[in-house]
Structure 1
Amino acid sequence: MLKIIEDDPWLRPYEADIENRLDYYEQHLARIIKSHDSLEHYALRHKELGFNHSEHHNGWYYREWAPAADALSLIGDFNNWNPEAHPMQRKEGGVWEVFIDDKEGLGHLSQVKVKVQNEQGSADKLPAYIQYAIQHPESYDFSGYIWKPEKAFKWTDKKFDLKKLGAPLIYECHTGMAQEYEGVGTYKDFEENILPRVKELGYNCIQLMAVAEHPYYGSFGYHVSNFFAPSSRFGTPNELKSLVNTAHNMGIAVIMDIVHSHAVKNEAEGLNNFDGSGHQYFHEGGKGYHEGWDSKLFDYGKEEVERFLLSNLRYWLEEFHFDGFRFDGVTSILYHHHGNGVAFDHYDKYYKDGVDWDAVRYLQLATTLAKIIKPNCILISEDMSGMPGMCQAVDEGGLGFDYRLGMGIPDSWIKLLKHKADENWQMDEIWNVLSNRRYREKTIAYAESHDQAMVGDKTIAFWLMDKEMYWHMQKIDENLIIDRGIALHKLIRLITASAGGEGYLNFFGNEFGHPEWLDFPREGNNWSYKYARRQWSLVDNKELKFEYLNNFDKAMIALLEEYKVLDAEPAHLINMDEKNQVLIFERAGLIFIFNFSPNNSVPDYKFWVPMQGNFHYLLNSDDAQFGGHARVDSTTVHQSFQEAAENYISIYCVNRAAFVLERK
């Protein structure tokens, strides 16, 4: 019996489905190994297609897969854009090839395109495997460039060891909006100005958004056009490498937010209609179009598509030293219906109804390959369907991810903030959302990510404090709305981080309650960058209360790291008190106490503890340094006492406060 069924007996009726799905993967993997020696060789398509220099032949081979095309020719500044100068020859499997001698002038930063002819006519395209593309600001058109600098980038990160990282404490970032000025930030800006902040806060991992090239800045990087090209709007490939290298030397891992769920529909710079067939990389007709995203959907059953995407993973891991991936849109990948309008309320939805077996197989190959290339890499699935086995090994019947995003957690917090006064918050509802996850499947918990910060929604800080943040964030200014907001902001983040999963994620700036939403330049805002940035001056200003939230986040992350809270077994509930809105649990040997009540401060709050001893404060959200009211002396030691052979302690449990105690 497969391990996934041993772990979840409710899956027994689907044993045949799970075994058949695994067999579908294993037979395909066996074919790959037979024909290509190994999966890692199969994923070297970027060394075969695209531009590859041959030292032996003193020239360049350019190859392109375009099975439906009638003719291809390489054009560029090196041949005066003459389509007759370098016609390509058709080889096996719909691959076209041309050799360019070094004497002909093709080299680093040569500008190139490929002219593709088919029965509809001809069109100039960017090569599918292009590694550097630049968008012209006047026309928004792209040009492709050869990227092969004379001196290769010198890495100095050999001492960085992912094995020693522990539970991921993730700082989710976007390079372009990382700066305070109204414009697009660069890799260099990020390396010099943001990485030191990450290090100071204590996060051990950054998750970079919008890495692969995309034509529309406002797509947040989710409409990718050039899968092998780091976005040039932030700088050069070497500048991205420098960013990763510096992060590693600071002890910080770098995860890439990778988009293999869909691609931009643009034809000139993207993959869409590359060979004129309309369905080369993507499914044919409506099946290949995502109406909600206005983008194209990959056909994971095609060998060349599979090799393109797998090679893309290998490329980012090896060429740029990324430490793993957060796979975007996994629900859309897995199902023919893409999760649209589907309530995943029965196991049939995971095994009987609308599952794309080719897509499942692709994800199994992807996670297997990533672990071969970098065994300790971090693989995170953004899946809202809850497919069983997402984070179990492939040979156990799973898909091989390390973590799934706890997407229900931020949705729950926003729902509470929008629809319930906090005096009506139910402790069992909060606890159930944070503790309800599949056995043996690790979760990345988060109170809010970039999704909650976009225009049309609000950050947690803005839900709590709204326009009052504009006028009452000076430390000398007393304001009840701000006091409530700061208090609950700290409680929400601490309980989410400590009880919600085995990893934690924060969208940068939200740790200090960044006051405004995200809005990229667009016609509707007169192409303004005002809301496409992070206002670090707010948290750096010692006269403002943003510093309180930043201090608390730093202390919280330090506690999670020092005591390996997220590496420990899931939190164990100790006390749930709906009357006083108190929730207490134990994790990693620490006692976490939360009082969400607006009013009830209990002077002698007694509760059971699982061990006897003297309990000291490790963290007190009511401390003055965190914007609290200093009602509890953090030097106090609580000695346990016995009643009916059970251990208890008693504390001053003040309202809207959280405490973490350690037994000594």
Structure 2
Amino acid sequence: MANFSELDRYLFGQATHYEIYRKLGAHFTDQYGIRGVCFDVWAPNAARIWVIGSFNGWDETADEMTRLEPDTMGIFELFIPGIEEGALYKYLIETKDGKRLYKADPYANYAELRPGTASAVTDIEHFKWTDEKWMEERAKTKDIYAKPMTIYEVHPGSWMRHPGREDDGFYSYRDLVKYLIPYVKEMGYTHIELMGISEYPFDGSWGYQVTGYYAPTSRYGTPQDFAYFINECHKHKISVILDWVPAHFPKDAHGLAEFDGTCLYEYADPRKGEHPDWGTKIFDYGKNEVKNFLIGSALMWIEHYHIDGLRVDAVASMLYLDYGKQPGQWVPNKYGDNKNLEAVEFFKHVNTLILGRNPGAVMIAEESTAWPKVTGRVEDDGLNFSYKWNMGWMHDFLDYMKLDPYFRKDNHHKMTFAMSYNESEKYILVLSHDEVVHLKCSMINKMPGEMEDKFKNLMVGYAFMMGHPGKKLLFMGQEFAQLQEWSEARELDWYLLENPDHKHMQNWVKKLLHIYQKNPALYELDSSWGGFEWINANDAERSIFSFIRKSKDGKNNLLFVCNFTPVERSDYRVGVPKHKTYKLILNSDDAEFGGSGKERPVNYKSVSQECDGRPYSFAYPLPGFGVAVFRY
């Protein structure tokens, strides 16, 4: 009896087989009372296929697969008795023109550690989850946008490493439970975003050139170890986001490229099917079986591994047919323009499906253009993502922060412009790994001036980011002002925390994160002018920004004042909307952040004195690069 039934074939052909990872690939099963593994692979244009592996001495003629009838879909199947957990295997595919291809299993749940490229037999069904309460609470979430979200972006292989080991010294998924989770909890992040989890062959791609869309990378342990890490994150009330890469895949011989001797997973026309800049293949989003492959991968991460969200990489490269291409290198759509209509429909399908089946989960777009309604509803012709990375804010912010403070007055608009379009999408403000690699400098070394000024610049920049509407993402190491650019080949420079300047920066970011979590004004109304109000957006001459963040109930609103020059303003006065007492809850001049430690009053009562166009105001001596946050 075939493992892959007629119903399976029908659903797969419609791109609606939502548990395809339980059918294609290698799965333990019993046939006629005999325990073994059933292998199923989709390869419609193959002439013959054999399963070769450690269990048959890699004998290329021992175990030939059978093409299931009717053969129009091209599913090949074979049951082999007696195979043990961890056995390695590949498919030997003979093409119709007589070539022989040695391919890893596209649906494998585990793989051999690189540089090996074989798939590995494993059972991912026997992990005992204990996060039922977390999953129930997630499913009951009525408004994801009214919840706090501060994301710690982590590349597991270079966050921390074991010293002196002969292998790579990677922390395993279980090591990360012991060390990463407590660190994230202590710092005050709400989410961990993991780079490079789907299996990939080349470390230097950071996991963005995937060969195993259904397999957690074996660099850090087994699928069960990975599940344990997620389970423990949930136990400690930390959400987990994974990077997911449906935009392209590498040309490695064992991978998806020309899988059965033809362009099976990619567009056949190289003008649609290849990224000339990246040397990779583009998925054929018009082919149902390919769409099902990607949809099944997304569903497996969220439904089987309990992942709380996917950050979708390189969305713009999928939406535009001419992305990274010169004239003659791309083909217009049926309307003659550059939109990939099949990719648009794919996003509408996958986002609606995942969010509909998994309330409380999120889909995040890394989309770098002005494509409209990325987070809009499908009914309004939107793509239905939960959030979009705000790359515009990031570029303007970094352009401003790099400037000598003397020239900031002429670029004041770079820090206020994002509010003019803030309501158009649901945004995440990001300072990601992409901003601290390839000669871009670390965050601290983007800052102008001598070392002391660099730290003060970065402190005020982080405070502005934390106060500005939008959820937050900060790449690992930047919270303590890593000096070097990031490299996947070494761990972060944790020794820097022995230096007081770096420790003060870590204290500052930690304080900002805890203030963020404790104050709904900073996250409840991120995409509405109801949650934000400029006090003075036009103080360009002094390069000071003052604004208010408001909560839904109007209680515990916050007033931010950020000075982006080294000039002390001892006569500074800030206008306020209400005749209230304003309580100082954050002062960058405190000793724990490397400031003077000079004592200041906690409470500031406003008086009837017009300032900043407001009827009330109070005086606050503002240090150079000073930040003050008040609650009222």
Q: TM-score, normalised by structure 2?
A: 0.87
Selected match of 2:28 from 41, 53, 65: 53
- 39 and 628 in structure 1: CA distance in 2 versus 1, 3 angstrom threshold: farther
Q: What is the aligned partner in structure 1 of residue 501 from structure 2? A: 545
> How far apart are residue 409 of structure 1 and its match?
2.7
1:247 aligns with 2:233: yes
Given that 1:40 and 1:369 are in contact with CA atoms closer than 8 Å, whether structure 2 keeps it comes out as no
Unmatched 5+ stretches in structure 2: 1-6, 551-556
CA distance in 2: counterparts of 1:157 and 1:263, whole angstroms: 33
Task: Write out aligned runs for 1:283-298 (5 A).
Answer: 283-298=268-283
Q: What is the aligned partner in structure 1 of residue 297 from structure 2? A: 312
Q: What is the aligned partner in structure 1 of residue 559 from structure 2? A: 591
Look up the equivalent residue of 2:583 and give its one-letter code: H
> How far apart are residue 48 of structure 1 and its match?
2.4
Q: What per-residue deviation string (whole Å, max 9, x for no partner) do you get for residues 299-344 of structure 1?
A: 10001100000000111112211101000000001111126589xx
Given that 1:40 and 1:373 are in contact with CA atoms closer than 8 Å, whether structure 2 keeps it comes out as no
CA distance in 2: counterparts of 1:582 and 1:191, whole angstroms: 42
1:506 aligns with 2:477: no
Q: What per-residue deviation string (whole Å, max 9, x for no partner) do you get for residues 11-64 of structure 1?
A: xxxxxxxxxxxxxxxxxxxxx999649999522222221123334655433211
Selected match of 2:74 from 59, 80, 95: 95
Q: What per-residue deviation string (whole Å, max 9, x for no partner) do you get for residues 378-419 of structure 1?
A: 21100011211100121222111111001123322333354x
Q: What per-residue deviation string (whole Å, max 9, x for no partner) do you get for residues 581-612 of structure 1?
A: 1111111221111111222x222322321222
> How far apart are residue 97 of structure 1 and its match?
2.7
Selected match of 1:333 from 318, 323, 329: 318
Q: What is the aligned partner in structure 2 of residue 172 from structure 1? A: 153
CA distance in 2: counterparts of 1:608 and 1:33, whole angstroms: 66
- 327 and 341 in structure 1: CA distance in 2 versus 1, 3 angstrom threshold: farther
Given that 2:373 and 2:424 are in contact with CA atoms closer than 8 Å, whether structure 1 keeps it comes out as no
Q: What is the aligned partner in structure 2 of residue 133 from structure 1? A: 111
Unmatched 5+ stretches in structure 1: 1-31, 343-347, 466-479, 521-528
CA distance in 1: counterparts of 2:349 and 2:546, whole angstroms: 42
Task: Write out aligned runs for 1:30-179 (5 A).
Answer: 36=11, 41-55=16-30, 58=34, 59-91=36-68, 92-101=71-80, 104-118=81-95, 119-136=97-114, 140-148=115-123, 152-160=126-134, 161-162=137-138, 163=141, 166-179=147-160
Equivalenced residues, count: 589
Q: What is the aligned partner in structure 2 of residue 392 from structure 1? A: 376
- 278 and 243 in structure 1: CA distance in 2 versus 1, 3 angstrom threshold: same
- 493 and 434 in structure 1: CA distance in 2 versus 1, 3 angstrom threshold: farther
Q: What is the aligned partner in structure 1 of residue 183 from structure 2? A: 197
> How far apart are residue 547 of structure 1 and its match?
1.0
> How far apart are residue 432 of structure 1 and its match?
2.8
- Structure 1 residues 576-585 or 406-415, which shifts more? 406-415
CA distance in 2: counterparts of 1:649 and 1:626, whole angstroms: 24
CA distance in 2: counterparts of 1:634 and 1:485, whole angstroms: 28
CA distance in 2: counterparts of 1:662 and 1:42, whole angstroms: 52
- 375 and 574 in structure 1: CA distance in 2 versus 1, 3 angstrom threshold: same
Given that 1:283 and 1:297 are in contact with CA atoms closer than 8 Å, whether structure 2 keeps it comes out as no
The DSSP-based 3-state class of the residue aligned with 2:133 is coil
Q: What per-residue deviation string (whole Å, max 9, x for no partner) do you get for residues 233-266 of structure 1?
A: 1111111111111111110000001111111110
The DSSP-based 3-state class of the residue aligned with 1:439 is helix
Task: Write out aligned runs for 1:268-307 (5 A).
Answer: 268=254, 270-307=255-292
Selected match of 2:493 from 521, 525, 535: 535
Q: What is the aligned partner in structure 2 of residue 25 from structure 1? A: none
Task: Write out aligned runs for 1:537-576 (5 A).
Answer: 537-539=495-497, 541=498, 543-564=499-520, 565-568=522-525, 569-570=528-529, 571-575=532-536, 576=538
Given that 2:14 and 2:288 are in contact with CA atoms closer than 8 Å, whether structure 1 keeps it comes out as no
> How far apart are residue 662 of structure 1 and its match?
1.3
- Structure 1 residues 437-446 or 364-373, which shifts more? 437-446
Given that 1:63 and 1:95 are in contact with CA atoms closer than 8 Å, whether structure 2 keeps it comes out as no
RMSD over aligned CA atoms reads 2.7
Given that 1:593 and 1:658 are in contact with CA atoms closer than 8 Å, whether structure 2 keeps it comes out as yes
CA distance in 1: counterparts of 2:216 and 2:154, whole angstroms: 15
Task: Write out aligned runs for 1:333-372 (5 A).
Answer: 333-338=318-323, 353-372=337-356
CA distance in 1: counterparts of 2:263 and 2:217, whole angstroms: 26
Q: What is the aligned partner in structure 2 of residue 7 from structure 1? A: none
CA distance in 2: counterparts of 1:180 and 1:232, whole angstroms: 16
Look up the equivalent residue of 1:89 and give its one-letter code: T
Given that 1:331 and 1:384 are in contact with CA atoms closer than 8 Å, whether structure 2 keeps it comes out as yes
> How far apart are residue 154 of structure 1 and its match?
1.4
> How far apart are residue 486 of structure 1 and its match?
1.4
The DSSP-based 3-state class of the residue aligned with 1:117 is strand
Look up the equivalent residue of 1:225 and give its one-letter code: T
- 206 and 174 in structure 1: CA distance in 2 versus 1, 3 angstrom threshold: same
Q: What is the aligned partner in structure 2 of residue 518 from structure 1? A: 486
CA distance in 1: counterparts of 2:126 and 2:290, whole angstroms: 29
Q: What is the aligned partner in structure 2 of residue 626 from structure 1? A: 593
- 364 and 634 in structure 1: CA distance in 2 versus 1, 3 angstrom threshold: farther
The DSSP-based 3-state class of the residue aligned with 2:572 is strand
Given that 2:480 and 2:502 are in contact with CA atoms closer than 8 Å, whether structure 1 keeps it comes out as yes
Q: What is the aligned partner in structure 2 of residue 657 from structure 1? A: 626
- 490 and 40 in structure 1: CA distance in 2 versus 1, 3 angstrom threshold: farther
CA distance in 2: counterparts of 1:622 and 1:40, whole angstroms: 58
CA distance in 2: counterparts of 1:192 and 1:428, whole angstroms: 44
The DSSP-based 3-state class of the residue aligned with 2:574 is strand
CA distance in 1: counterparts of 2:241 and 2:173, whole angstroms: 15
Given that 2:12 and 2:288 are in contact with CA atoms closer than 8 Å, whether structure 1 keeps it comes out as no
- 234 and 122 in structure 1: CA distance in 2 versus 1, 3 angstrom threshold: same
Look up the equivalent residue of 2:405 and give its one-letter code: D
> How far apart are residue 125 of structure 1 and its match?
1.1
Given that 2:376 and 2:385 are in contact with CA atoms closer than 8 Å, whether structure 1 keeps it comes out as yes
- 606 and 34 in structure 1: CA distance in 2 versus 1, 3 angstrom threshold: farther
CA distance in 2: counterparts of 1:560 and 1:574, whole angstroms: 20
Q: What per-residue deviation string (whole Å, max 9, x for no partner) do you get for residues 461-484 of structure 1?
A: 02227xxxxxxxxxxxxxx82221
Overall identity of the aligned pairs, in %: 27
Given that 1:131 and 1:229 are in contact with CA atoms closer than 8 Å, whether structure 2 keeps it comes out as yes
Given that 1:614 and 1:640 are in contact with CA atoms closer than 8 Å, whether structure 2 keeps it comes out as no
> How far apart are residue 227 of structure 1 and its match?
0.9
Task: Write out aligned runs for 1:425-444 (5 A).
Answer: 425-426=408-409, 428-444=412-428
Selected match of 2:252 from 266, 270, 295: 266
